[in-house]
Amino acid sequence: MEILFSNHRDLDHYEKLHPALKEVLAWLHEYLPRSKTSRLIYTSIFRHYKDEIAQGRSGVHGCDPPRAADIVVICTDGKPYEQDEYTNLGILINSVWYYGDGGKHQVAFAAPHGTGLHLHLQVREKGTQKRA
């Protein structure tokens, strides 16, 4: 499976990701090739905290180390995932990974938000882990 970055800056941030997010992504990199997908594109990792807050967002993309990543998935037939596929992938990820705050937030957020179809992934500063 090919892993790409929309923004070159995100490649640098990818290397510095929060360790728990790296674990989630490593799991995803193992899972996706077995599900008729050929490409994973990181469309956004780091965004400046002040800009995020000014736009009414949570700021999780502006943390240091980065605790969030937005992804787009491309199938082996060349088509990008549709909403229901992001929804299903999000359900799967959240069944495997526990965000860590008693259910208030989740690791994967698939509901339409921001720019275009994508899946938002995030981890908590402490406590995100694989479910037993």
Interface ranges with Zn ion (CB under 5 A): 70, 120
- Taking the complex as a whole, how short is the minimal distance between the CB of residue 64 and Zn ion, in angstroms? 16
Q: Are 126 and 113 in contact (CB under 8 A)?
A: no
- Taking the complex as a whole, how short is the minimal distance between the CB of residue 110 and Zn ion, in angstroms? 11
Q: What do you get for the CA distance between the two ends of the chain, in Å? A: 28
Of the pair 46, 98, the CB lying nearest Zn ion is at 46
Of the pair 43, 76, the CB lying nearest Zn ion is at 43
Of the pair 77, 89, the CB lying nearest Zn ion is at 89
Nearest to 128 by CA among 107, 113, 103: 107
3-state class of 131 per DSSP?
coil
- Taking the complex as a whole, how short is the minimal distance between the CB of residue 132 and Zn ion, in angstroms? 27
CA distances from 124 to 1, 34, 68 (A): 27, 27, 9
Using Cβ positions, the residue closest to Zn ion within the complex turns out to be: 120
